[in-house]
A and B are shown apart, each in its own frame.
Chain A
Amino acid sequence: MDTANVQDNPELLEMHLDYDGGNTLREAVRWSKFLSIVGIAGIGLLLAVGLIATPYVLNGYGQLTPDSEGIIDVLLIALALYFGALIAAAILLLRFSRLTKKGMDHEDQHIFNRGLKSLRITFMILGILSCLSLLGLLFSLIYPM
C-alpha cells in the first residue's frame, strides 16, 4: 500500500495513474462517451418534440387568462434553460471522455487535466440541476396545480 509520508518526500503528491487505475479509467471514459452521446441525442429529441407539440398543447387549454399566460411563459423559459443546462453537461461529459482518453494515449498531463476539469464542471451542473429538481418536486407536492 502506497502511503507515502508527505513530510518525507519533497513532492506533495506521489499518486499517479498506474496500470490498474488507467485501465479502469479507460473503461469509465468509454461508457461516459456513450452516455454523453445518448444524452445529447435524447435531450435534443425531447426539445424538438416539445417545440413542435407546445402550440397544440396550449391550444388544447383554450382561452387563457393573462396571468396564466405569464406563468406558462415563465415555465417554458425555465424548462428551456433546464434542458439547455442538461445538454451543456452532456457536452462536457463528452469532452471529459475525449480529453482524458487523448491525455492517456499521448501521456499528456495538460490534456489529461483538461479532461478532469470538464468532469468537474459536469458534476457541478448536475449538482445544481438536481437541487433545483428536488426543490421543484417538493414544491409541486406541497402546492399541486
Chain B
Amino acid sequence: MIARSLRWRLLAGAAATIFAALALAWLAMSYLFEAHVERSIEANLIQHGRDIVSGLTRGADGQLALDPEPFDARFDRPSSGLYWQVSEDAAALRSRSLWDETMAPNESVSANAWTRGDVAGPFGQKLVFVAREVSLGADGSSILVMLGADHAAITAARGEFSRDLGLFLLLLWAVLAGAAWVQVQLGLKPLSDVRAALAEMRGHAGARLREADYPAEVAPLALAINALADARQRDTERARRRASDLAHSLKTPLAALAAQTRRARVAGAADAADGLDRAIEAARDAVERELTRTRIAAEHEAEHKRTGPIIDRLIAVVERTEAGQRLTFENAMGDIVLPLGEVALMELAGPLLENAARYARLLVRVSGDVACFCIEDDGPGLSDAEIGEALSRGKRLDETAQGYGLGLAIARDVAELSGGALSLDRSPLGGLRARVHWTE
C-alpha cells in the first residue's frame, strides 16, 4: 500500500535526499572547521615564532640567547601541548614544556618562509608544527626555529563541533522533511480534488469537472476526464436509445403475436398457445424492464422531490384496485427526500405498493429516512426460501398473479440504477417488508 502511494514515495524521496545532502554538509563542514582551527593555531604559532626570531641574540660567548621568551603559560608547563625550540648544530634553546625532549621537522625547512606540517612529537603527541631557518648577523650559520602544538586539541574541537553540528542538522532535517510533507500535501491536493469530483460524477452522470478549480498542471487532466465522460455519456445514451427503440419496436409484434395465440387457443391448439404465451410473456417482461430503464434515465438530472406527496399519489392509485380498496395505507414519508427522481420513485414504490396491497390483510405502511425506504404489510409474508426465489431476477413467484415477479424485478432495477439495493424480509407487522437502502 505504502509502496504504491505517491505521497509516501515523494515524502520518502524528499526525506532521503535531504538527509544525504545534510550528511554531506556535515562531513564537509567538519573538515572545513578542522582546517580552519588548524590554520588559526598555525597562525598563532607563527606569531610566537616571529617573537622568538626577533628576540634571538647571540651572546658574547657566541651562545644563542632569547629575550624575552614568548609569553604563554603553556610554554612553561611540561608536556602542555605547546612548544618552541631554537636549535643550532648541537646547541638548542627550548620551552620548559618540552622538558628534555626535542622536536625535529620531518621535511626540509625553508629559510624564507614558515614551513607548516604534521610531525610525531614528544610525549607520544602528534604535533602541528611551523618551522623556519634564520641566521643571526653576518656569520651565516643557520638556526632552526620550530614551534609545535598538540593536534589532540584540534581533534577534540572538531569532535565537539561535529556533535553540535550533527544535532543541529538533524533538527534541520526534521524541519525540511516537514516542509516537504506540506509541499507534497499541497501538490497532491488537486489530485484528491479530482478523485472527489470523479466520485460525484459517478453519482450524477451529467456532473463535470470545472477547469477553473484546478492548477494549470492538473487542468488538462480535468479536461481529458470531461471529454472522456462526454464520450461515454454519448455512447451510453446512444445505446440506451437503441435499446429503447428496440423495446418499442418489439411491443406491437408481441401484441399481434399474443392475439394470434388467443386465436390458436380458440381453434383448439391450447398446448401450443400456452408455450407461445410463456415466451411472449418473457419477451414482454424484458421489453417492459427496458422501457422502465429508459423512462428513468430520461429524468436523471431531475430534481429530487419530497417523497411523501408522491407516495400519496401512488397510494391513491393502488387504493382503486380491488385489493387496495379494503386496506388502510399509512404514509410516514412526509418531507423526506430520497436520492432518486420522481419517475424513478414511482417505478420503484408503485410495484412494491401493489405487491403489498395484494397480500396485506388490513394495513400497508410506508416509512423511511433519507437513505432508506420501507414498504411493509400485515399479510402472510414470505419464507426465506420464497424471498430468495422472489429476488432471483425476472423470476415469477406466483404464476397466476400477473406482474408480481416483474414488479419486483423492475423495482430492483430502479433501486440499483439509483445506487440503492432492494432487500426483502419479515415485517414487524407480520407480512413482507421490502426495503430499499442507499449507501452514502
The reply to whether chain A is a binding partner of chain B is no
